[in-house]
DNA sequence: CGCTTCTTTCAGAAATTTGTGAAGTTAAGG
DNA sequence: CCTTAACTTCACAAATTTCTGAAAGAAGCG
């Protein structure tokens, strides 16, 4: 018994959480494998797992892990690290930072703004549709600044509540 | 010439905007047809189009319009209305309200919170993973309140900038 | 009430996406 | 350098999703 690296933890409870949280992420638009890998990391003891551990725990191929991790790293939800002097890679969820990545939709917002700006120009700023788009554009520009301020307040709030843990 | 309901507007410019904005929405996770229908409404003169108009402008079947509109109505991005005394339905984008729907991820956030709460309980609030999830949970709870306040500020800002439009 | 017009539902064809095995690539360690 | 352990890429099979035509379902109007 208890021969796994996760000795002492209820494997079934972990798996249940992983699958249910992953399902929510999928529903919100995340790729399935990425969601499962991420949930597994989030519920792991140290917040770090190797490719092999993920592959075994989730019953997926190394190729699937590779694809999922690439996505998660690109979106800054996990970071990859090498154990020094080893070919083994480890993937880490940054605890207090991953959810900041969630709100960092800056790139997405920028592209929306771009498309809207083009729309305003090509339809004309004085047309009803142009005005509608201009207002939407203003909304996104407003939001962009607000989010930064909001995250600043969160960090302060977090400090108070959890310490610098 | 100019026999369409959109007389006086550059159909090609409209189409170009529709497709490029829709592409951004798709990339952010929206269904393709829903994205196209929504973009068409956003760039329409009055912010209102009938099912037939959408079907023709986007070159899609009535069935596709039906599916797209159902999704958009569910997510409060458009509303449906009946022309009084007609079987014809009209779909409207609410100008200043659709993007509020975008930020109204309340249902999504609630479900995430539910999954996280369960995770904290089943893994134990005193385990490292439990603490990590509790912090994430606190983040979402914080965000929920902040977003409401942010939208309040936006409405004030909008009033100043655009009048009550 | 029945006719007509518009919308929705449904089954299926087509296209897309997903995850795998296998080959390819990189780098540690003898 | 050569071997070996790991990760990545690629082509393909399977599963899923998407969109359509056709038929069924509402609702106005005579």
A142 Cβ under 8 Å from any chain B Cβ: yes
Q: Which two tokens stand for residue A26?
A: 């999928």
Q: Does the nearest atom of strand C lie within 7 Å of A62's Cβ?
A: yes
Instruction: Tell if the CB–CB gap between B128 and A9 is shorter than 8 Å.
Output: no
B159 Cβ under 8 Å from any chain A Cβ: no
List of chain A residues whose C-beta atoms are within 8 Å of the C-beta of residue B9: 123, 127
Question: Coil, helix or strand for B128?
Answer: helix
User: C-alpha A116: how far from its chain's center?
Assistant: 26
pLDDT (tens digit, 9 = 90+) per residue, A63-81?
999 999 999 999 999 999 9
Residue B104 pLDDT exceeds 80:
no
**Ramachandran angles phi, psi of B79, nearest 5°:** -120, 155
Instruction: Tell if the CB–CB gap between B46 and A146 is shorter than 8 Å.
Output: no
The top-level CATH class assigned to B11-94 is mainly alpha
Residue A8 pLDDT exceeds 60:
no
Range with the poorest average pLDDT among A31-45, A100-114, A147-161, B53-67: A100-114
CA distance linking residue A91 with residue A33, whole number of Å = 15
User: C-alpha B83: how far from its chain's center?
Assistant: 23
Residue A164 pLDDT exceeds 70:
no
Name the residue in chain A with its Cα closest to that of B95. A132
List of chain B residues whose C-beta atoms are within 8 Å of the C-beta of residue A157: 142
Strand D bases with any atom < 7 A from protein Cβ: 5-10, 18-22, 26-29
List of chain B residues whose C-beta atoms are within 8 Å of the C-beta of residue A146: 150, 153-154
- Altogether, the residues listed in chain A come to a count of 165
Instruction: Tell if the CB–CB gap between B146 and A150 is shorter than 8 Å.
Output: yes
Residue B161 pLDDT exceeds 70:
yes
| Residue A99, burial from CB neighbour count under 10 angstroms (0-12, 13-18, 19+) | buried
Nearest to B13 among A123, A154, A157 (CB): A123
CA distance linking residue B66 with residue B71, whole number of Å = 9
- Going by C-alpha positions, the residue among A63, A59, A133, A11 that lies closest to residue B162 is A133
Nearest nt by C1' to B87 Cα: C6
> Three-state SS across chain A?
CCCCCCCCCCHHHHHHHHHHHHHHHHHCCCCHHHHHHHHHHHCCCCCEEEHHHHHHHHCCCHHHHHHHHHHHHHCCCEEEEECCCCCCEEEEECCCCHHHHHHCCHHHHHHHHHHHHHHHHHHCCCCHHHHHHHHHHHHHHHHHHHHHHHHHHHHHHHHHHHCCC
pLDDT (tens digit, 9 = 90+) per residue, B25-78?
998 889 999 999 999 999 999 999 999 999 999 999 999 999 999 999 999 999
Compute the nearest-CA separation of B61 from chain A (Å): 25
Average pLDDT, chain B: 90
């Amino acid at each position: 018994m208890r021969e796994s690296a996760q000795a002492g933890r209820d494997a079934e409870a972990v798996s249940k959480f992983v699958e249910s949280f992953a399902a929510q992420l999928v529903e919100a638009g995340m790729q399935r494998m990425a969601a499962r890998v991420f949930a597994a990391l989030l519920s792991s003891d140290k917040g770090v797992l190797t490719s092999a551990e993920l592959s075994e725990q989730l019953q997926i191929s190394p190729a699937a892990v590779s694809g999922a991790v690439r996505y998660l790293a690109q979106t800054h939800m996990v970071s990859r690290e090498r154990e020094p002097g080893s070919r083994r890679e480890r993937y880490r969820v940054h605890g207090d930072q991953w959810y900041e990545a969630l709100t960092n939709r800056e790139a997405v917002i920028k592209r929306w703004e771009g498309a809207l700006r083009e729309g305003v120009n090509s339809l004309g700023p004085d047309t009803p549709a142009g005005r509608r788009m201009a207002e939407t554009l203003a909304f996104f520009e407003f939001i962009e600044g607000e989010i930064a301020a909001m995250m600043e307040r969160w960090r302060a709030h977090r400090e108070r509540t959890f310490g610098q843990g």
